[in-house]
Chains A and B, each alone.
Chain A
Amino acid sequence: MKSLMDKCCDKCQSTVENQCQGYIKCRLEGPFCHQDEGCKEKRAAFLAGINIPAGSDKKKILICAGTGCISSGSLKVSDKLVEELEKAGLTGQVKVTTTGCHGFCEQGPIFIVEPQHVFYTRVQPEDVAEIVESHLKNGQVVERLLFHEPSTGQTVLEYNNVNFYARQQREVLHNCGHIDADSIDEYVANGGYLGLTKVLSGMSPTDVVEEVKKSGLRGRGGGGFPSGLKWQFTQQAAGDKKYVVCNADEGDPGAFMDRSVLEGDPHSVIEGMLICGYAIGADEGYVYVRAEYPLAIKRLTTAIEKAEQYGLLGKNILGSGFSFKLKIKAGAGAFVCGEETALLNSIEGLRGMPRPRPPFPAVKGLWEKPTNINNVETFANVPLIFRKGADWYAGIGTEKSKGTKVFALTGKVNNTGLAEVPMGITMREIIFEIGGGIQGGKKFKAVQIGGPSGGCLPENLLDLPIDYDSLTQAGAMMGSGGLVIMDETTCMVDLARFFLNFTQKESCGKCIPCREGTKRMLEILERICDGQGRQGDIETLERLGNTIKSASLCGLGQTAPNPVLATLRYFRSEYEDHINEKKCIAGVCSALLTYFIDEELCKGCSKCAKVCPAGAITGVVKEPYKIDTDKCIKCGACIDSCKFGAVKRG
């Protein structure tokens, strides 16, 4: 046995062509078809090598090899570790595993010692020798490399006690960062393909659809459409050929949950797609991944090869008669290609432009065949539902939004990264407990949720339990789960301008309200930020925004005005200040700022006067200097040049 997936002895009758129904269970508890203590022990030993039991004298090091940690040098750390272990003669005792993303990339490279869960962060190659010598050889934890809680400054030993993780409920991400994504053995050892086993050993396609409906799972790609219902539509659509498509386009700026799942646990997506294929009667699937995710594509390719090698993709899977093949399509990275019908066009080799719906993909999808499209995270939820049960799943979350959601936390919070939390949690818990509060002790202002399609929530909505419906009601949107935290230094008009600039550039250009309307909204916002706002601009933005929302063809146009309308709803006075008072209270819109010199602080060094390109600063050496606001071009060079902090902007 070289792999957990191999047969224990020649008595095993399972082959790829004629696979045993209990193939997966047998890897964990087998053999079943013959009594042999030797075979049983072999399997148990193999499993213990993967998940090292607590109290064992062996150790396993998890080094994150997600995109984030690789870019902070984790592969060099792991090379160095292998080298140092060899030098120390510990190679047999300590297993080194490179994993997918832990979601805490800013602390990378992340280095975990199992089975004790010791959590080292920002480990560099030069730290490795010390960890090996002190911790792995002599059992002495290296204090200085432990994580420091930003709010308290205290060090934390185990990752599950770090605030960032303690408040999370990692279900979809349970394998991410904890298994070697390239190893099908590790996936199976942790319950992988048990969901599929359950489905293929006795459930009818309708049972499967009913189970998904019962779980309450809703699409994680943005819209939150009930997944069971979508599967049912595709199942009931007439057609001899059907497709399953996984949407891994992930175009929201700042979102990377889908990438992390594909990089850290690709088999969970394959398993979810297999279950869906069986339920709707499809024998072929596509994963549409953006080409900017080369590592995700590589890991997924390996996972597909492994699944094919062991008969979990291909013909007659688990002896059930169900066959399924899976292909990857690399997308060229247009935001609109994440829209499901544009995505289908793109797979077909056409320009990524949305199609009118109806007909919905469930009826006429890929090459006009009934097609079920779900998001990566949606598919990754599916195996859990079958392994742990729909009732268990439906027990998590709120009345209408079940399960967990992975959020990408960015912006002005102390801990940024991926956080998986139960639906119904409040924004306050995410930002102040998981996120560790606002950076630099500044004041929280708003959180943008749902990326360019979403909206912002102000401070008085921090205690809103978040689910699909509460967010939509508040003028935001779950979207893919991007959370950008903003403090008092963020200008809300500028924020709206930023997102509209994105959607305008990414509009496919097909329909007039979106293509031309977002352009005019953007121009108005640019004007307001530039101090050229006029009376009536706010009303025009609202009028235009509402027309674009109601008359556009696809979700991009239908949601593009949201960031503007939401900021107008909660921060209208900022717009009014920009237009009427020509003031930007956050100090962001440079055209609206005036520069002046604080006479108390100015030492009269003349440095600012020398750097000012407009010659707007004059004065006598050793006496306070002055800025002529008429001449000032607001470039900010003086502020950067003053050593005494005497130049002010406001």
Chain B
Amino acid sequence: MTALLSARGLKLAFGGVKAADGIDLDVGAGEFLAIIGPNGAGKTTFINMTTGYLRPQAGAILYDGRPILGLAPRRLVTLGIGRSFQLPQLFGEHSVAENLALAIAAREGFWSPFRPLMRPVWRDEADEVLARFGILDLSETRADALNEGARKLVDIAVAVALRPRLILMDEPTSGVAGADKMAIVETLVRVLRDAGVTAVFVEHDMEVVGRFADRVAVWAQGRIAALGPPDEVLADPAVRRDVIGIDPGEDVHAAA
């Protein structure tokens, strides 16, 4: 498996807090990598460094073999790196379809004042993306009227509409109501796999991790404490005690 994303020795401290303390990680093309770990471990920081929001004090990040540190988010998008946010970032005054159309326009030509945002081709593509996510019925809803779960999905749909090769998702399922969660994750994973997108996602639900991740990276105090297939990593007694917070021996799925 060739690495699409490689991090080497990333370090970043905020005052005394080491949010990244020597991160080495390779993510293969087509892989689904889950990041787990307690709050404050530096998971969001890793995503922010990879997407150009934060600049590490040391280390390197290679995407598709080329160094990308120092490139603005705007440039990284054009290289095919997409992200969704821990707090979804939608344009509240616009409808869901318009939010997607803005992403499509950003890809296809944003600058002509004579092309309407809701021109048929963009509209249709927006609807097509929403249909893939199974949320076509939300098309006309104003983004600030969505519930938390829908907001997360639309946020990811916007990222997907930009046609990324790599997507980084910060807690895509937090805030999604319990009963719908698995169905939503299944849809999400299907859409991303169908599109051949490589995914890195921060996740707290071990059942989701166990079912959908190819590998799991365990973050602890700015370092990767464990890395491997979910069944191995989630069975590791130290991980179970420190990260999942259950006694070794208990069934993994019982925690969810």
Answer yes or no: do A and B interact. Answer: no
Point out residues on A near B: beta carbons under 8 Å.
none
